[in-house]
Amino acid sequence: MTQELNFGGHNSESALNSEVTVVSASIADPYVLLTMSDGSVQLLVGDSTDCSVSVQNPSRFPKSEDVICAFALYHDKGPEPWLRKTSTDAWLSTGVAEAIDGSDGSLHEQGDIYCLVCYESGTLKLFDVPHFNCVFSDDKFLSGKTHLVDTSIDESSKESQKVMNKGSEEAGNPIRRESIDSMKIVEIAMHRWSGQYSRPFLFGILNDGTLLCYHAYLYEGQDGSPKKEPALSPQDSGETVSSRLRNLRFVRVLLDTFTREEPGAFSGRQRINIFKNVGGYEGLFLSGTRPVWFMLCRERLRLHPQRCDGSVVAFSVLHIVNCNHGLIYVTSQGFLKICQLPTVLNYDNYWPVQKIPLRGTPHQITYFAEKNLYSLIVSVPVTRSLNQVLSSVMDQEGGHQLEQDQLGSDDLAKTYTIDEFEVRVLEPEKSGVHWETKATISMQPSENTLTARMVTLFNSTTKENEALLAIGTAYVQGEDVAGRGRVLLYCLGKNTENPQNLVLEVYSKEIKGAISALASLQGHLLVASGPKITLYKWTGTELNGVAFYDAPPLHAVSMNIVKNFVLLGDIHKSIYFLSWKEQGAQLSLLAKDFGSLNCCATEFLIDGSTLSLVVSDDQKNIQIFYYAPKMLESWKGQKLLSRAEFHTGAHVTKFLRLQMLPTALDQSNPTPASEKTNRFALLFGTLDGSIGCVAPLDELTFRRLQTLQRKLVDAVPHVCGLNPRSFRQFQSNGKAHRPGPDNIVDCELLCHYEMLSFGEQLEIAHQIGTTRSQILLNLNDLHLGTSFL
């Protein structure tokens, strides 16, 4: 059925009105609200009896000199509409779940429809439909303040108003202020998802790419507070008039790791796409050059960026037989894709999470990229009798046998729980849904697996490089037995004798001391066994030692390699910086940290041609050192100098070096040929289950953000009134420590800048001698550069 609608007028200007076109539309059954090219508003009403649409020009829509820049219809559905509770006469309808009798005798669900209108001045107004009476308004919505309150209530904070007025007065100065007149809302939406205790969300997009998100709540003021009701206009007399939503409030919601859209990239296109069921989740999809999923989980928005297909220009929900609760979208390259969200992932987290049952305790994981295999060290608790335990730890000496003979049969029958270690080789399917255990490498009794790493060794016989899985173990047999361990080498995916088993053992050797760390150094295998570091050459069947280093280290906990440099972390003696020279086969010490530091993890941090050494300790600190032999403080290059130090508040046990992605500044520069940058970030994991990141910054950006951080310490209210600057200081636990340079900025504190109001952002940017757009660009580039997951 097709119906033609005529929006032309019946006056002398009909010729001009005939050229008026529809600019945008918003639908809330049975209403359709249109904005025309001449700035007027048209309301369409649908009739379910004859399936027709009639035009109703909302004459009651208040005339204003202010230009409308965005609008949307909101349907407050449900047996008890939520916004009705916030009105002044809410007590008349609270708890009453009525149903409306339709003309066909059926019961229709009760609900109210409202119209949200944003003006270029920054004012937000909420009208009831179809009468278009203003029930809520806020003239500072554009500023992005923390709370939205109806302007008819005189409860605004004087301090915040003073800051806003000051920002408005100084906005005309081009040197000190950016132009506020250029800012406007380009798209607005309001929606309340399902749930007994759900509340509406309000979204607004600014023309500079900023997304404002507010969550509505019910505010019950004091009984003695004055109530200001607007006077009714003569045209409204005798008709139903909605009361003001005096108890309606909105609080701004912090959006985690949200990257702003490039200004002007998708101007004029709808970006907010609300969905009710995509893969069992509800929320909204924000299209554009950097599309983002907003998943609503337990009344909390979870943000998940989608960077697999680039820009997305159109999105819609698709629910058919072959695509149950799926989606369909179109990319900027013209590709149309029909997809479904993976059902095995849990999106109620900072990242989509999939749990893989191991039925054991994982200790370490390493990845083999060529075969897409994961090697995982797992310990499984097993129950053994005392007789089995003693026989497994029996040494060449006969003392243990004599002790066993002195025990009675009842003592030998007692059971104990011990951990048995094994290395599992896992392979995920291409879809990533199921993980299959391809092979299991079991350890000997009382043998603990300490490290496993994929290494590339040069076979001196075949003159080829081989990718092998190196495993280091240690026997736990009590303090009366000398420590020893094994070095195991396995080849993955080349077992010709048994094609079903992907793992083939190519070498095994027992060495004195526990094998705590392994690494490949220019085709050689570097092994840390107790206090000794040994470099081996691989012949295809044997490991032959070519160099060693056994100076002060007590027990190496980590080893990292970059080119011919070695970073060694000791459990009590901090870090050592070594160098390997092929000519002469020398493994020599370049410099070390002379301080006493209980090292937990180490890694290299690369920023272009600058190499830094990162270490974490047992006091929950991170320190960054550098090697500068020409500086006087380095004692002729023997001492590593401190570049930065930072307190994380958690024990960091692992660093992972990942290459940073190109930012907007890098993409605008046509000089680099590849999309990769010569800058790496360190992703780290902690014992409390948190994940963090350390990334390098250029000098100008760092100075700007550091100055901003010092301002935010006083400008932002902190949790429990605690001082973040004091918390991030190095914690030495009473030990003598010389404070290092303050060269790390806290992004958790910097993210609060975007939550400040627009006037406060301008004021702080002016105080530090920069602009708001420059600060937001730096923060956005930092998010883009570290968005490798």
Task: Write the pLDDT tens digit of every residue in 633-652.
Answer: 999 899 999 999 999 999 99
Residue 445 lies in a domain: no
Residue 559 lies in a domain: no
pLDDT: is 167 or 317 the higher one? 317
Residue 249 belongs to what domain range?
A: 14-94+104-223+237-282+318-325
| pLDDT at 680 > cutoff 90 | yes
**pLDDT number for residue 497:** 59
Query: Do 151 and 137 form a contact (C-beta atoms < 8 A)?
Result: yes
Taking only the tens place, the pLDDT of each residue in 471-504 is 999 998 777 788 899 999 999 986 555 656 789 9
**pLDDT number for residue 204:** 95
Residue 245 lies in a domain: yes
**pLDDT number for residue 174:** 46
Taking only the tens place, the pLDDT of each residue in 215-252 is 999 988 665 444 444 444 444 444 445 678 989 999 99
The pTM assigned to this predicted structure is 0.86
CA distance 740 to 644: 6
CA distance 429 to 438: 12
Other beta carbons within 10 Å of 680: 19
CA distance 170 to 164: 10
Other beta carbons within 10 Å of 244: 23
**pLDDT number for residue 554:** 82
pLDDT band for position 662 (cuts 50, 70, 90): confident
Residue 78 lies in a domain: yes
**C-alpha pair distances (Å), 716 with each of 155, 235, 300, 763:** 22, 47, 23, 13
Query: Do 573 and 553 form a contact (C-beta atoms < 8 A)?
Result: yes
Residue 44 lies in a domain: yes
Q: Kindly report which listed range (33-42, 449-458, 486-495, 769-778) carries the lowest average pLDDT score.
A: 33-42
C-alpha angle 141/142/143, rounded to 5°? 90
Residue 345 lies in a domain: no
Q: How many domains does the chain have?
A: 1
Taking only the tens place, the pLDDT of each residue in 326-349 is 999 999 999 999 999 998 899 999
**pLDDT number for residue 231:** 44
CA distance 91 to 101: 23
Residue 190 lies in a domain: yes
Interval 452-456 mean pLDDT:
96
Q: Kindly report which listed range (30-34, 276-280, 746-750, 764-768) carries the lowest average pLDDT score.
A: 30-34
Residue 360 lies in a domain: no
How is residue 176 written in tokens?
Answer: 């000190």
Specify the residue for token string 């009525």: 98
**C-alpha pair distances (Å), 75 with each of 199, 459, 460:** 13, 71, 74
Q: Kindly report which listed range (12-21, 280-289, 413-422, 618-627) carries the lowest average pLDDT score.
A: 12-21
Interval 140-156 mean pLDDT:
82
